[in-house]
Amino acid sequence: MNVVNTNYAEDFYEYLALERSMAENSIDAYRHDMEKLMYYDEFYLGDRNLDMLTLDDLSKFLAWTAEIGLSARSQARILSGVKHFYLFLLAEGKVAESPAYLLSTPKLEMNLPTVLTVEEIDAIEGAIDLSQFEGERNRAIIETLYSCGLRVSELINLKTYDIHPDEGFIKITGKGDKTRLVPISASALKYIGFYIEQMRCHLAINNENKDFLFLNRRGRQLTRVMIFTIVKNLCQKANIHKNVSPHTFRHSFATHLVEGGADLRAVQEMLGHESIQTTEIYTHLDNNFLRDAIMTYHPRNK
């Protein structure tokens, strides 16, 4: 494979890590996208230097990603990675202009996320067996996910010292190690307190795990898979047939805020979204909610 290509790619990954402060999994996603471009360059474009590719070359590359069966969403993600790469080359003076600038993003269908009602969330919490050793922990997990709109990675990495009950906030470390303060409800704080008193303080916790808030019965940090398992089991017990994951509580948190009239910028800040466009999906959910309300209650629709 072309040495120059590889060097530019490695410089790009280093730039993402050091200057953009991206997390390793985000950099890995860019790496996978660039590997596809370099593969196409090697086998279809004669292994030319990446700084020599044209708009036509990149257009053919995107058409190839469709031909090999990648979805429109995957194509759009790859395009985003390629555009970022050429913007990096442009900033470094490796190209005079970005050949990816005029590339069109594949049209994506609007897939609205699954959202739980407040009654369904109450039913899920009601399905928790508080007589079990992990009962108080599981209730605190569900309440914290919904109360604060956390990603599952943010939940499992939450530290005991990130909770500030007197101020009513928790400190979250999100994507790219960026921190934000999120309000936490009194009920979530109450259930976290119950969990600490009735389970956590009785665990044998080694030094490596001592700061993590949510632990398993062996005193170790919970995994993403464990949170998914807890949620799936509780939904089954609560007889909820929606496709629910830990992320569903984050969607429900944001949707209920928008439905209640919260400012979209405030919701963006609490979710830790870099772009307001990511948060705007919840306005579409809210519009559906308003339409359902009209269809149900307006006298002309009865």
Catalytic residue among 84, 151, 200, 251: 151
Q: Do 151 and 247 touch, CB atoms closer than 8 A? A: yes
Catalytic residue among 48, 60, 237, 273: 273
Would you call 256 a catalytic residue per the annotation?
no
Q: How do strand 169-173 and strand 179-183 relate by DSSP bridges?
A: antiparallel
Would you call 247 a catalytic residue per the annotation?
yes
Catalytic residue among 175, 190, 220, 237: 175
Would you call 273 a catalytic residue per the annotation?
yes
Would you call 137 a catalytic residue per the annotation?
no
Would you call 298 a catalytic residue per the annotation?
no
Catalytic residue among 36, 84, 250, 251: 250
Catalytically active residues are 151, 175, 247, 250, 273, 282
